[in-house]
Structure 1
């Protein structure tokens, strides 16, 4: 897949960036290349990054975060364990810090995530609930959080990871107690709390067509038929070199668009077995470029978010033994071939 020409173009992009870095400070505004966000905006898209509160003390990291991107996702600070650590006691300090930083940098925010089976507080998971009890708890949590951020959040990942790989419903506390209707309820409650926010379903391993993405396709058709407010489908795009590239990504984005949904690549990284080498980094760069091109090819694919932009703060090494190097910037905040491949795709 275009390996030789890709390497030449990437080398040229690196040379151009190094030349611009060496330019006199007085001319920096004229000579600095456009950011990923600026390039994406020319296509009517956004280009974003996740971030998390502990790394916001890292000023060099924060400088890139504040300039290169125009959409920010809090990696953990808006999840249930952080926002309602005790029943009925809400704490939005982590989310607020990231929202305030984004607003200061003229960036928008994707809210992540209202309903998920993971990272739940102990008070919620350590006891049995009747359906009426859990429905009330869920509604209060969703509406309190969404109201708190009303007018400050572009889109919410309302329900995250609702299906198994074979397309059956994941046996979460919500599904087991409330049945599949919890998804429609969650979307309706979020919409009541902030009618202007875009509401997404979000999952991993749904980039290509297959049983899991088919299940979402069918669910969206049913929700739309019932008049349930659902506006977007988020494809996390946590990819790994050893599993191959999802060649049907563009087709999949297109079929969800035809249902009247926006789509977005919401948590992008491309991991590999470490150490990285030139061949792996070249393949990774190809994948980042191909994903970017797939989004640009589908009108209602609205943007791309990296799951943090640098290997320095990647979640991958802690969760996948022996894997890493998944992001377009390395641990020293230096751009990798993937970064230049994204720039190339954005033109």
Structure 2
């Protein structure tokens, strides 16, 4: 998205007055963008009136939109609230979304804790609003996520019934959610919700995570979850999604072992989501190796939650040109290796995990800058790096 175009949108909206590891031990992040190029205005100094403005080293004027560069879907996260809002910021957000992306993922409103409100009781309204927006704007929806240990409704955490009754509640939810969203179709009769992360983060390192689901259903709950989802919709693509698949070899091998067991025993699975929560310098050599290893399973490959931290060591107080350049290179590497390693038939797409730095889950009170747009929706040089990678420009 061109900087000028975004600024015009913001100016127009203002005038109209709208309202509103092995990096398990690896670094965490956050990020600001306000005053990246601080300094006073030259408006009061007549001697500067004819000077050529200094180019901002942290942003660039993009000439290509992401979805037009890639031969596979490019996605980002949304919420029903933002999609419904007419604030200046959210009007610009939707403009960027529709220009740059053709796939969307609900950041949190299609998870169990939001949709599963009481025993045998469901509220799909936020998800329905997201799907309606997708239908209106020709976007694909990737469902995220049916079962995740950090998104359990409080009533289910405290469920006093037997383990068999607990399992029946989880089974009922998975089937109800998948079946409900399977009903949404575009004007051509194609499903809008094309896929689901059935289980998110089943592994803790190379071991099965001790969660409420393993405690009450057993370690094989993941197999049952995929079977329940398939029974509810024979066509939707079913994904397993996890982090540090790149960067933590033992975890990756455990996931591949599970997937091979699924395939051998006819447990339905269509793809693997590789959460790409990267650092500017991690992983390095393992990134292409990981993408190759997951691709070798023969399943669909989704780079599902791409962002790149630049200050995980808290060693900088503001974004530096050196760190911005390293981030640009890491985005290029992710785009390049996915584009060139994964066979076209297995390329499910890349999903970015946020728009502006200040909106990132990694923002951390303004101490990191992990995304593609600054706080004014200008395209950062990190965006340039991803475009270069998608265009097949080798970063090494």
TM-score range, shorter chain: 0.7 to 0.9
Deviations 1:152-211 (A, max 9, x none): 31110000000112x111101111222221111111111111111111000111123511
Larger Rg: 2
Match of 1:48 in 2: 75
Aligned partner (choices 179, 188, 192) of residue 152 of structure 1? 192
- In 1, Cα distance between equivalents of 2:249 and 2:335: 21
Match of 1:284 in 2: 327
Aligned partner (choices 385, 389, 395) of residue 345 of structure 1? 389
Tell whether the 8 Å contact from 1:271 to 1:323 is kept in structure 2 after alignment. Answer: no
Higher relative contact order (CA 8 A, sep 6+): 2
User: Following TM superposition, by how much is the alpha carbon of 1:21 offset from its aligned partner in structure 2, in angstroms?
Assistant: 8.4
- In 1, Cα distance between equivalents of 2:361 and 2:81: 13
Aligned partner (choices 90, 100, 122) of residue 154 of structure 2? 122
Aligned partner (choices 240, 245, 254) of residue 215 of structure 1? 254
Q: 1:98 to 1:20 in 2, by over 3 A?
A: closer
Tell whether the 8 Å contact from 1:20 to 1:33 is kept in structure 2 after alignment. Answer: no
SS at match of 1:154: strand
More helix by share: 1
Tell whether the 8 Å contact from 1:202 to 1:234 is kept in structure 2 after alignment. Answer: yes
- In 2, Cα distance between equivalents of 1:334 and 1:148: 38
Q: Structure 1 unaligned segments of length 5 or more: list them.
A: 1-13, 24-31
Q: What is the alpha-carbon root mean square deviation over aligned residues?
A: 2.2
Tell whether the 8 Å contact from 2:139 to 2:192 is kept in structure 1 after alignment. Answer: no
User: Following TM superposition, by how much is the alpha carbon of 1:87 offset from its aligned partner in structure 2, in angstroms?
Assistant: 2.0
Q: 1:312 to 1:122 in 2, by over 3 A?
A: same
Deviations 1:232-279 (A, max 9, x none): 0101111123x6224222222222222221111101111222521111
SS at match of 2:349: strand
User: Following TM superposition, by how much is the alpha carbon of 1:18 offset from its aligned partner in structure 2, in angstroms?
Assistant: 6.1
Match of 1:134 in 2: 166
Tell whether the 8 Å contact from 2:247 to 2:282 is kept in structure 1 after alignment. Answer: no
Using structure 1 for the length normalisation, give the TM-score: 0.86
Using structure 2 for the length normalisation, give the TM-score: 0.76
Q: 1:48 to 1:198 in 2, by over 3 A?
A: same
Deviations 1:86-113 (A, max 9, x none): 2222111111111111221111010000
- In 1, Cα distance between equivalents of 2:123 and 2:366: 35
- In 1, Cα distance between equivalents of 2:247 and 2:160: 37
The alignment status of 1:179 with 2:209, answered yes or no, reads no
SS at match of 2:70: helix
Q: Structure 2 unaligned segments of length 5 or more: list them.
A: 9-61, 183-190, 312-316, 392-396
Tell whether the 8 Å contact from 1:311 to 1:326 is kept in structure 2 after alignment. Answer: yes
The alignment status of 1:97 with 2:129, answered yes or no, reads yes
Match of 2:58 in 1: none
Q: 1:19 to 1:91 in 2, by over 3 A?
A: closer
